[in-house]
Amino acid sequence: MHMMIHGLLSLFTLAYASAVTGLTIQKRAVDFFDPALGGGSIFDNATFSGSPLNVIISGLSSPDVLTDKGILDYAQAIGLHSSQECLGFHLGAPQTANLGDGNGSLNQTMEFRQDFGHDVLGTCLESLLGGNHFLVWRQNGPQASSGALFLAASKEKDSSKNHDLVDDGYNIGRDELAVGAVGTKSHNGVTYETVAQKITGIMPAGSDGVNHGIAVDGIVILLTVTIQPKEQ
């Protein structure tokens, strides 16, 4: 009887605390939370025209993948490198996004560019020739702490075109990122297994409110990344 009363009191306390604070109970064992449910957006720069957050690395991925170092290593495994433009230089202000997790609008965590197989000079080639790149935000606020990483992927033209996007650049950037990620990839002795799933219903299709007026098809790719055990 004492244990039953104690359990009921614990449940009541948890429910009361949630009602008083208005916060969602902390939960990480999910792929992600829809940003719109918490007042956020599936587009970055949500108060203006924005770029779609068109790839999500699931919160059910191996925890080490979801850290800053983890996403850096994983990005290199799939052919992109962390670099703010060529050789670490950066042009333009960071973009912001609100993932509906209670953190409000935050600057991107990282930016990655296609490295063409060269860790140091590859991003210079991307700046000159164009290519794929993506920005990263982490959903870890008090209202929706999935730990998922939301990526804004796109494909750019070369530097002579001021890094404008290619036609259909958001859908193409998303698809090229997913194709390069799916399957087995390795970097620095770590092996990753990635599976992809198409998610609909959280991003509207069309060009309304989309940066550059480039239409999107409304599909978000969910990547679940699992680090494979090392062979003995």
**Contact (Cβ atoms closer than 8 angstroms) between residue 129 and residue 158:** yes
H/E stretch holding 190: strand 190-199
Q: Three-state DSSP class for 62?
A: coil
In order along its 232 residues, the chain shows pLDDT tens digits of: 444 334 433 333 333 333 333 344 445 589 999 999 999 999 998 556 799 999 999 999 999 999 999 998 999 899 876 554 454 444 456 789 999 999 999 998 887 765 444 454 444 544 544 567 789 999 999 999 999 999 999 987 754 444 478 889 999 999 999 999 999 999 989 999 999 999 999 999 999 989 889 999 999 999 999 999 987 6
Q: Which residue has the tokens 């916060």?
A: 23
**How many residues does the structure list for the chain?**
232
- What does the domain layout of the chain look like in residue ranges? 27-227
